[in-house]
Amino acid sequence: MYEPIRTKSVHSTMAGTTSDFPHRSREEELDIQLAGHLAALLATTDELRAMAPSADLDTAAERLAGQVTRLRAGRAPVRASKTAGAVGQDPGEAAALHQRAHALAGRALVVAASRADTAAAILAAERMDAHAAAAERGEHQELSGAAS
């Protein structure tokens, strides 16, 4: 009824056989994921720095860049210039960026915890707290501004 398979399977399922494509270890995959989340958080931080420069964001950006460089074996991340954005943009946009940064820091924290990277986990947790506080301050400012 069915014709038998005449060619070798492209999926090697037998133990002890090697395949033609390279495999990464779980640790390497987690390093790649963590570097990606931290690089995205760095890009969002750079956007926030362009909108409202602050020493806290400058310090955070440098620490994030250092972690990404470490995870990428010495390759520095691409950075946005500090003057890339327009200063004084909509406060709602800043709040949205803080929410995005909070979510990215949360993802980085999960991956850092799973790979037992204490330095990255501490940095991600600090950034989560900072962005949650900034988003809350922005929300309170919008509410107080709407009431007057």
Residue 80 inside a domain? The answer is no
Residue 2 inside a domain? The answer is no
Residue 9 inside a domain? The answer is no
Please count the structural domains in the chain: 1
Q: How far apart are CA 35 and CA 31, in angstroms?
A: 6
Residue 20 inside a domain? The answer is no
Residue 6 inside a domain? The answer is no
Q: What is the pLDDT of residues 11-61, one digit of tens each?
A: 655 555 555 567 888 888 999 999 999 999 999 999 999 988 889 999 999
Q: How far apart are CA 141 and CA 138, in angstroms?
A: 5
Q: Which domain holds residue 57?
A: 26-74+92-147
Residue 39 inside a domain? The answer is yes
Q: Which pLDDT score is estimated for 148?
A: 38
Please give the C-alpha separations between residue 90 and each of 73, 97, 123, in angstroms, as whole numbers.
Answer: 38, 11, 28
Sign of CA dihedral 145, 140, 58, 48: negative
Residue 8 inside a domain? The answer is no
Whether pTM > 0.85 for this model: the answer is: no
Please give the C-alpha separations between residue 146 and each of 30, 139, 142, in angstroms, as whole numbers.
Answer: 44, 11, 6
Residue 56 inside a domain? The answer is yes
Question: Does residue 33 contact residue 14 with C-beta atoms inside 8 Å?
Answer: no
